Chain A
Amino acid sequence: MQELFHNLIVTFGSQANAILFLKQLGMMVIGGVLIFLAIKKQMEPTLLLPMGFGAILMNIPNHSGSAGISEVLETLYNAGIANELFPLLLFIGIGAMIDFGPILSNPKLMIFGAAAQFGIFMTLSLASIFFDIKEAASIAIIGAADGPTSIVVATQLAPQLLGPITVAAYSYMALVPVVQPPVIKLFTTQKERKIKMPYKPESVSKLTRILFPILVTIITGLIAPGAAALIGFLMFGNLIRECGVLDSLSDTAQKVLANLITLFLGITVAFTMKADAFLSLGTILILALGLFAFVFDTMGGVLIAKLFNLFLPEGKKINPMIGAAGISAFPMSARIVHKMGQDEDKQNFLLMHAVGANVSGQIASVIAGGLILNFFI
Chain B
Amino acid sequence: MVKLQSNYNAELINIINEELSLTSTQTNTETQTEQAKININVSGKRFLSSFKYMGLGMLGIFLIISIIIIMVTVLNKIKKK
Contacts and interface: CB of A to CB of B under 8 A. Distances in A.
A211 B75 contact: yes
B65 A129 contact: no
B3 interface: no
Interface string B11-30: 00000000000000000000
Interface residues of A, number: 45
B2 interface: no
B71 to A, nearest CB: 6
Nearest to B60: A371
A121 B79 contact: no
B1 interface: no
B61 A111 contact: no
Contacts of A126: 47
A208 B65 contact: no
Contacts of A137: 53
A286 B75 CA distance: 42
A136 B50 CA distance: 9
Interface residues of B, number: 28
A51 B57 CA distance: 31
A185 interface: no
Given A121-B54, A136-B50, A375-B57, A114 B43 contact: no
B53 A121 contact: yes
A124 B57 CA distance: 11
Interface in B57-81: 57-58, 60-69, 71-73, 75-76, 79
A178 interface: no
B4 interface: no
A4 B57 CA distance: 52
Contacts of B46: 128-129, 132-133, 136
A230 interface: no
Given A122-B54, A124-B53, A125-B54, A219 B62 contact: no
A125 B51 contact: yes
B67 A219 contact: yes
A205 interface: yes
B72 A224 contact: no
8 contacts: A107-B72, A118-B58, A124-B53, A125-B54, A129-B44, A133-B46, A219-B68, A219-B71
Given A121-B54, A223-B67, 13 more contacts: A110-B69, A117-B57, A117-B61, A121-B53, A128-B43, A133-B50, A204-B76, A219-B64, A219-B67, A223-B63, A367-B60, A367-B65, A368-B57
Interface of B: 43-44, 46-47, 49-51, 53-54, 56-58, 60-69, 71-73, 75-76, 79
Interface of A: 103-105, 107-108, 110-111, 113-114, 117-118, 120-122, 124-126, 128-130, 132-133, 136-137, 202, 204-205, 207-208, 211-212, 215-216, 219-220, 223-224, 360, 363-364, 367-368, 371-372, 375
